[in-house]
Amino acid sequence: MIFIIYLKKTKMSKVITPELINERLEAKGFGDKQMQDDESIREAVLSHYGYKLTSDWPHREDAEFYIYEESTQDGYSVYIATANPERISISEDVHYYDHDLGDALADAIRYGNGDSEWPETIYIDDLDATFIDEAMQTLFEEASVEFENEIIKQLEEEGYEYADAEATA
């Protein structure tokens, strides 16, 4: 009994793989390697969105956003997250707890006017605050997904394909 095996040649020589995508993500500063280090995440996010953080109180025109702690008349701490420290809105800018400041920071960066060539400044009185890393992680993940989609589209334009149709589903 003779078995004849037909080998089906594929025209696919360039295959989209997770490793290839990650390699290109890492070149942009948003890959697995950078995801493991909070400082790399912070650097990548701030560079991508065009921001820098400072704990030195700037002149009003020198910062786009401010996050800092204040004390109430009766000695309680509150947190201010505002674009204008001279006109604070109690209902929008004052936070009783610091756990939601990460959302305020992420929104300020996400919807702000940052420019990678001329970075905008954000004042934060405590640059070691946990909410900063939380905001950076959120923005890093969002940018990573956007970059991944762009990279896949670019790879497809370069003639790359998935090994099988199920990989794209």
pLDDT for 4 equals: 44
Angle at which helix 130-157 crosses helix 38-49, to 10 degrees, equals: 70
pLDDT for 64 equals: 94
* Of 14 and 89, the one with more pLDDT: 89
Percent of the chain with pLDDT over 90: 81
pLDDT for 107 equals: 97
> Each residue of 97-108: pLDDT tens digit?
999 999 999 999
Query: Whose CA is closest to 148, among 59, 26, 1, 5?
Result: 26
* C-alpha of 7 from chain center: 46
* Of 56 and 163, the one with more pLDDT: 56
CB-facing half-sphere around the CA of 71: CA atoms within 13 A = 3
pLDDT for 12 equals: 52
Task: Work out the pLDDT band at 23, boundaries 50, 70, 90.
Answer: very high
pLDDT over threshold 50, residue 7: no
- Pick from 45-59, 125-139, 151-165: least confident: 151-165
CB-facing half-sphere around the CA of 69: CA atoms within 13 A = 11
> Each residue of 40-89: pLDDT tens digit?
999 999 999 999 999 998 776 789 999 999 999 999 999 999 999 999 99
Longest Cα–Cα distance of the chain, Å, equals 96
Which DSSP category does 161 fall into? B
* Cα radius of gyration rounded to whole Å, the chain: 23
Reported for 59-65, long-range contacts at CB under 8 A and 24+ positions apart, including other chains, are 60/84, 60/85, 60/86, 62/121, 63/120, 63/121, 63/122, 63/123, 64/108, 64/112, 64/113, 64/114, 64/120, 64/121, 64/122, 65/105, 65/108, 65/112, 65/122, 65/123
Using a cut of 0.75, tell me whether the model's pTM lies above it.
yes
